[in-house]
Amino acid sequence: MLLIGQVMVLQSQHKLTVTVNDVPDSMGKISVALYNDAEGFLKFDRVFLSESVAANKGNTKVILEGVPNGNYAVALFYDKNGNDELDTNWMGIPKEKVAFSNAKMKLFGPPSFRECAFDIYQDKTIQIGL
């Protein structure tokens, strides 16, 4: 709910279900981050909503509740060792599998917010392959 002047405005809140396909193992977790702007995309301190669940070999569902109408992008990783961190090598390249909504990792880095973005105006389900 948002108070504007003396009028209360109800903001729509939706459920985003992210189905992660091709999960290689049931060890560890799937960690999903939802971003709501290009400037903060892929910055850990600028995540709008996040959730982690136990990995299930094959498909794993992650549900984010309370998502207002808007434009969003998802980044996720398979936290195989369950340490709640994206493990990288000395050059900062992920050692664990990462994936994005609507886009794939590029040869020289991740996709942009714009390439990954989608709109939410009602409950939504998206699928992302590892």
Beta strands, E only, the chain: 2-4, 7-9, 13-23, 29-35, 49-54, 58-68, 70-79, 98-100, 118-120, 124-129
pLDDT band at 10 (very low <50, low <70, confident <90, very high): low
Domains and CATH numbers, the chain: 11-129 (2.60.40)
pTM: 0.88
- The pLDDT of residue 93 is 83
Query: Coil, strand or helix: which one is 45?
Result: helix
- The pLDDT of residue 109 is 85
- The pLDDT of residue 68 is 96
Residue 18: Cβ within 10 Å count: 23
Q: Which two tokens stand for residue 103?
A: 């886009």
Model confidence pLDDT, tens digit, residues 28-86 = 999 999 999 999 999 989 999 999 999 999 999 999 999 999 999 999 999 999 999 99
pLDDT band at 1 (very low <50, low <70, confident <90, very high): very low
Averaged confidence pLDDT in the chain:
91
